[in-house]
Amino acid sequence: MMETEFTKRRRTKQKHPIRNTILAVIGLVVIATAAFLYINHEGYAAKNPNDMSLTEVMVSSSDSVAQVGKKLQSKGLIRNGRYLSRYAKRYGAKSITAGTYLFSPVQSIDNVYQELAQGPSEEPVLDSAYTYIDGNKTDEQTAQTLADAANVSKSGLLSAYTDKDLMKEMKQKYPKLFLNAKSGLTLYDLVMPGIYKIKDEKSAKDLVRDLIKRTDKEMQGYYSELKENGLPVSTAVLLAENGGKKEFNRRLAFIKKIASYAQDLKSQYGILPSISIAQAIHESNWDDSDLSSKYNNFYGVKTDDTTAGKSVVLQTQEVENGQTVTKNARFAVYDSYKDSMKAHAKTLVQGNTWNSNQFKDVLAATNYKDAAQALYDDSYATDPNYPAAIIRIIENWNLAKYDK
C-alpha cells in the first residue's frame, strides 16, 4: 500500500519519548543552574544599596573568615556569612588584620573581602557609585573627591562652604542646625560624615544644599537633646561614623554621671569641673578603656604600690622626643570612679613628692583654656597636643557650664 502525504505527516508528528525526556532533563538543569547563579548573585550583592549607614565591627586576630562572616550577618551587614566564606575560598583566603572596621549594607561581598584583605583603614571599600566623606578630614582634603562625584569645581565647592548668602539661606531653611553654633562655623562643619550617593549637580552650591539637607534629616532625633544640653549640632555630626545616636547618648550619660561630683570637688579642691570632666573623658576614652571600665582609673594615674588589688600593669602610649612609644606601666586601681576623681584632684593640689607645687599654674587658672595649657606646661601630660584636645572636648560638649 502506497504511503500517502497525510500518513507521512502523521508519522513525523509521532512522539519520541527518549529524546523528549533528555530535552526535558537538559531544560531542568538549565533552569536550576540559572536559579543557582541568580541566588548566588543576589547573595554576593549588597544587602541594601540604599542603606548607607555605617557600623563598627571589631575583628580579632583569632577570627576566621567564617567567624567574621557571622559577625557581619548578625549586624545586618550582609545576607549570609556563608557567602563571604565561599568568596574567600574561591579567590584564596588572605590573612585578616585585627582591628576596627567600618562596614555598610551598601557593600558587596567583594567590597567586604577587599576591605578585610587590606586591613583597617579610614575609609570603607565601596563601589564607584558611592562616595565616602571622612569626618576626620578637612574640607580641603575631601573637596576634590566630592567635586569629582558631583561634577563641579573644587574651588567652587570650597567657596560655597563659607559663602555668606548660602549660609544665610541654610540658616533660614534649617534653623535648628545652627543652634548653639560655635564661632567660625562653616557649612562643611555641618556635613555628615559617611557614605553618599552623589549625583551630578548644576553648581557647587547645589551640592552643599543637598549635603546640608541630609544632615538636617539625620539630626531630627538629636535636636531636643542638643537644645536641652546647650550642645552644637557639630558635636553630634562628629559621631555620625562612630556609633551615631547610641554613642551620643552613652557619652552624654557619662558626662552627667560624673559632672555633679566634679562640681563637689571644685568646692573642696578648687579644680575647674570642666577640666576634671574633660580629662576623665580624654584619659579613659569616654570610659571605654580597660583601665577605667575595669579598674575605675579615669586619669591614667600610675603608682608604685604593688599591693594586691591596688595596682595593675597595662600597656600605655607616651610621647618621648616627639615620638609615640608603647610601654608597660603600673596603674592605680580604685574602688569607685569617685575615688579616682578625688585622687586626681588631690594630685593637682598636693603635687608630687618631689614638688608640692608641680601644678600651681593649673590651680591658678580661672578659665578652662588657661588650665588646659597649664596641664602641659606643668608636665601633667607629655603630649604637646594635650591642651587642644582638652579644650576641644570642653567646647564640643559645653562642659564650661559646670564651672559656673
Mean pLDDT of 306-324: 79
> 129 falls in which pLDDT band (50, 70, 90)?
very high
d(CA 47, CA 106): 6
What is the pLDDT at residue 234? Answer: 92
pLDDT over 90, % of the chain: 66
Q: Helices 154-161 and 204-218: crossing angle, nearest 10°?
A: 50
pLDDT over 70, % of the chain: 88
- Domains, the chain: 55-118 (3.30.1490.480), 131-238 (no CATH), 244-403 (1.10.530.10)
Mean pLDDT of 262-277: 96
User: What tens digit of pLDDT does each residue of 350-369 get?
Assistant: 998 889 999 999 999 999 99
Output 403 or 118, whichever has higher pLDDT.
Answer: 403
Amino acid, res. 177: L
What is the pLDDT at residue 118? Answer: 87
What is the pLDDT at residue 33? Answer: 47
d(CA 397, CA 274): 10
Highest mean pLDDT among 85-94, 270-279, 307-316: 270-279
What mean pLDDT is reported for the chain? 88
Residue that is written with C-alpha cell 557581619 in the block: 72
Check: CB of residue 332 under 8 Å from CB of residue 307: no
Identify any residues that bridge with 59 across adjacent strands, giving them in sequence order: 99
Q: Is the pLDDT of residue 96 over 80?
A: no
Query: In angstroms, what CA-CA distances link 316 with 31, 127, 255, 319, 394?
Result: 60, 38, 24, 10, 24
> 310 falls in which pLDDT band (50, 70, 90)?
confident
What is the pLDDT at residue 353? Answer: 83
Amino acid, res. 246: K
pTM score: 0.76
Mean pLDDT of 221-243: 91
What is the pLDDT at residue 61? Answer: 82
Q: Is the pLDDT of residue 143 over 90?
A: yes
d(CA 164, CA 273): 37
In 3D space, the residue among 212, 219, 223, 224 whose CA is nearest the CA of residue 169 turns out to be 212
Mean pLDDT of 223-246: 90
User: What tens digit of pLDDT does each residue of 16-52 get?
Assistant: 666 666 655 565 555 554 444 444 567 789 999 999 9
What is the pLDDT at residue 218? Answer: 93
Which cell goes with 241?
A: 561614623
d(CA 327, CA 359): 25
> 55 falls in which pLDDT band (50, 70, 90)?
confident
Q: Is the pLDDT of residue 144 over 50?
A: yes
What is the pLDDT at residue 16? Answer: 60
> 179 falls in which pLDDT band (50, 70, 90)?
very high
DSSP state of 136: T
Query: In angstroms, what CA-CA distances link 293 with 136, 276, 283, 289?
Result: 26, 17, 12, 6
